Amino acid sequence: MERCRKIYERQIQVFSFISDVWTNYALFESRLGELQRSRYIFEIAIAQQELDMPENVWKAFIDFEISQVGQEDGQLDYSKARALYKRLLLITKHINVWISHARFEEENVGDFSLARQVYEDAQAHFRDNEPEQKEERAQILEAWHQFECKKFVNEQGLDSERAQKVFAKLPKKVKRRRKVDSAHQNEVGEDGEDDEAPEGWEEYIDLIFPEDQAESRNMKILEMAHKWKQDEE
């Protein structure tokens, strides 16, 4: 075993930027029952500044902690895996992390309230902090709606109040037109001068969220009320 360890250690010295090298070493220790050594290797791996695919190390670490639930002390304690999800969300707010976390709470833990909270937090994040990421926000809402439609989550499924509330948040697709400035695509004319390409229009699909429209209307009402009050004074 010590010879194997030395080989793994040599590998991570030479190929410290390769995620699979770290993961293989950690899982090797896990198979030997050296769980603390395995965790130690995972921790060193996710702390690396340069990894080719860090998401794979995080996933392997989380899957490892899930696999250990009930193995060490017989207790169904998912806190270690949950803590890893929370640490990962401090580093990245990628949509896949949010959805994976929510499904972990639903499928592994069986805590629908926690799964719902993750979806709520994810939707709020994209709404408030990354409003330009409309596709991601829409995907979160779609995943959330599918979750609420499951009959083991809500007895009435699609017709449940929770499912209907999430459905009301789903965006509507609207076809729009926008001006395209192609002046940067200049071509040299016969007279040797640049001929600017004419500006054109293109169609695109925009996502309109009912929640945003309602908030916008409320803001306008408040602004109008403030103006009326100023006029009266």
Q: How many domains does the chain have?
A: 1
Whether residue 48 has pLDDT greater than 60: yes
The pLDDT assigned to 191 comes to: 46
Report percent pLDDT > 70 for the chain.
84
- Tokens for 177, please give them: 């037109």
- Find out whether 78 and 69 touch, Cβ atoms under 8 Å: yes
Q: What is the mean pLDDT of the segment spanning 2-8?
A: 93
pLDDT at position 17 over 90: yes
pLDDT for the residue 71: 83
Q: Residue 34: which domain range? A: 1-68
Evaluate if residue 181 carries a pLDDT over 80.
no
| Per-residue pLDDT at 197 | 43
pTM here?
0.81
Residue 213 or residue 90, greater confidence: 90
Supply the pLDDT for residue 209. 95
Whether residue 17 lies inside any domain: the answer is yes
**pLDDT tens, position by position, 88-110:** 999 999 999 999 999 999 999 99
Residue 5's pLDDT is: 94
- Is the pLDDT at 198 greater than 60, yes or no? no
Taking 70 as the threshold, does the pLDDT of residue 133 lie above it? yes
Please determine, for residue 221, whether its predicted confidence score (pLDDT) is greater than 90.
no
Asked if residue 191 belongs to a domain, the reply is no
- Whether the per-residue pLDDT at 215 is higher than 50: the answer is yes
| Higher pLDDT, residue 103 or 205 | 103
Confidence of residue 45 (pLDDT cuts 50, 70, 90): very high
Residue 102 within any structural domain of the chain: no
* Domain contains 205: no
DSSP structure string for the chain: -HHHHHHHHHHHHH-TT-HHHHHHHHHHHHHTT-HHHHHHHHHHHHT-S--S-HHHHHHHHHHHHHHTTTTSSS----HHHHHHHHHHHHH---HHHHHHHHHIIIIII--HHHHHHHHHHHHHHHHHT-TT-HHHHHHHHHHHHHHHH-TTTSTTGGGSHHHHHHHTTSPEEEEEEEEE--TTS-EE-TTSSEEPPPPEEEEEEEEE-HHHHHHHHHHHHHHHHHHHHHHH-
